[in-house]
Amino acid sequence: MSAPSLNELRAKLDVDRAGELMHAFASELFPICRSITGAGVRETLRRISDRISLDVHEVPTGTPVLDWVVPQEWNIDAAWVNDPSGKRVVDLRENNLHVVSYSEPVHAHMTRAELARHVFTLPDRPQYVPYRTSYYERSWGICMTHEQFEGLPEGDYEVCIDARLDDGALTYGEVVIEGDGPEEVLLSCHVCHPSLANDNLSGIALATFASEALRGLALRHSYRFVFIPGTIGSISWLAANERNLSRITAGLVLSGVGDRGPFTYKRSRRGDTTIDRAVEHVLRMAQQPFDVFDFSPYGYDERQYCSPGFDLPVGRLSRSPHGEYPEYHTSADDLAFITPAALGDALSTLLAVIDVLEHDRRYQNLNPKGEPQLGRRGLYRAVGGAVDRRSAEMALLWVLNLSDGEHSLLDIAASAALPFDVVRDAASTLEEHELLAPVAGA
């Protein structure tokens, strides 16, 4: 029996059910205290690996990676603050965001004023705990709601951060779903944020479930899923894989895809590569609001993939842009902020984009002088429902007219403003009737 196709998989995908399972997976990962290195990343990768068998790589502390050096590994067992009455007012066990990531260890008594120098709050959002990091500068800090901090009395505070910074490793995971051809598609997400749902876990859930969906299918391209700590992880991955990058013909950074906002697509640095046109076409055809931005050297790991020395064709698929929603990098980016519907829709959208990458190619019309007589071949009025039939017939005409060896199916779908799969189906029908032939190597 031959392997099932992506089309068959997409036709049977239960988007609602997939969204529920993705949300459940995000919920499973939510309590883990992640950072750019350490036990939290390893545990996260282990849970992902339970589903999709990752290759896990450890890059030792001190390894030079491009212009950077892999830092010491950070691990934490506890962090708390006791107020002057001895009552525990902050505890890492209640929320991983309470400690600044990469805090150095401390155990000391101090006044409220001394404590205040190490406390981070959000006065404009007094009920949210902020997320803060100090990866490359030795310091320590406690994060709490502004409301709570305002209510703390004067007196003697006891602060403990039981953390360790040691030589160890930076950990990342990857898995390749092999296709028949030489081209590779890179799908990357970050795994370094602690209990934040949209910024981190939504991308992890999407990459994990997309990888699971593609496994076992007959595919034209290979799909490399990379689960890495932000910035230093993609830099380490690029340093280790520099010689293989020419295989990558398309890629996406997946992040922030679980909130209720519309999709946003950030173009690759080149701006007009196949992935850019594929995502834009899929979003346009979905008939829901969406936004497209040009590349900028700020954001997630697309900054590294699209640095000028690599300039990979990698865009970014998100919903609400990072930094532009009040819940971003706060305790309000929790499991209620992401929805099963948004996650399921993200999976279905990503698979639609992959369908374009799989089937986009150029064809030659074998009967280019005048239109071939479609009625005689049973190609007119051959399909069911009137709307479907009209789209299918329009697609036949568009494919015949633009299949001059220059335009690909994606070009044709964009010109015709028709869903890619309708155009793809028209091409395969015309090929069956020997009116169309694929252009070799295209």
Q: Which residues bind Zn ion (CB under 5 A)?
A: 199
Reduce the DSSP state of residue 439 to 3 states and report it. coil
Write down the least CB distance from residue 193 to Zn ion, Å. Answer: 5
Quote the CA–CA distance of 6 and 426 in Å, as a whole number.
17
What are the phi and psi torsion angles at 293 (to 5°)?
-120, 150
Write down the least CB distance from residue 190 to Zn ion, Å. Answer: 7
Phi-psi region of 405 (alpha: psi -120 to 50; beta: other; left: phi over 0): left
Question: Which one, 157 or 325, has the nearer CB to Zn ion?
Answer: 325
Question: Which one, 193 or 224, has the nearer CB to Zn ion?
Answer: 193
Closest of 103, 87, 102, 197 to residue 148, by C-alpha: 87
Closest of 422, 423, 389 to residue 409, by C-alpha: 423
The answer to whether the beta carbons of residues 405 and 371 sit under 8 Å apart is no
Q: Which residue carries 């409220």 as its tokens? A: 112
Question: Which one, 133 or 222, has the nearer CB to Zn ion?
Answer: 133
Write down the least CB distance from residue 230 to Zn ion, Å. Answer: 7
Question: Which one, 196 or 379, has the nearer CB to Zn ion?
Answer: 196
Quote the CA–CA distance of 226 and 358 in Å, as a whole number.
20
Write down the least CB distance from residue 257 to Zn ion, Å. Answer: 13
CB-nearest residue to Zn ion: 199
Question: Which one, 199 or 355, has the nearer CB to Zn ion?
Answer: 199
Question: Which one, 18 or 253, has the nearer CB to Zn ion?
Answer: 253
Q: Which residue carries 């950077």 as its tokens? A: 68
Write down the least CB distance from residue 329 to Zn ion, Å. Answer: 6
Write down the least CB distance from residue 256 to Zn ion, Å. Answer: 8
Burial of 154 (0-12, 13-18, 19+ CB in 10 A): exposed
Handedness of CA 4, 10, 16, 20 (dihedral sign): positive
Question: Which one, 328 or 363, has the nearer CB to Zn ion?
Answer: 328
Write down the least CB distance from residue 158 to Zn ion, Å. Answer: 31
Write down the least CB distance from residue 290 to Zn ion, Å. Answer: 22
Question: Which one, 199 or 276, has the nearer CB to Zn ion?
Answer: 199
Reduce the DSSP state of residue 56 to 3 states and report it. strand
- Report how far apart, in Å, the C-alpha atoms of 50 and of each of 43, 285, 331 are: 11, 35, 28
Closest of 267, 263, 289 to residue 278, by C-alpha: 267
Reduce the DSSP state of residue 140 to 3 states and report it. coil
Question: Which one, 154 or 324, has the nearer CB to Zn ion?
Answer: 324
Write down the least CB distance from residue 143 to Zn ion, Å. Answer: 14
404-408 β-sheet, strand order: 404-408, 362-365, 436-438
Write down the least CB distance from residue 135 to Zn ion, Å. Answer: 12
The answer to whether the beta carbons of residues 63 and 70 sit under 8 Å apart is yes
Question: Which one, 321 or 368, has the nearer CB to Zn ion?
Answer: 321
Closest of 114, 119, 118 to residue 147, by C-alpha: 119
CA 159, 28, 142 angle in degrees (round to 5)? 15
Looking only at the bridges linking them, the beta strands covering 248-254 and 290-293 are unpaired
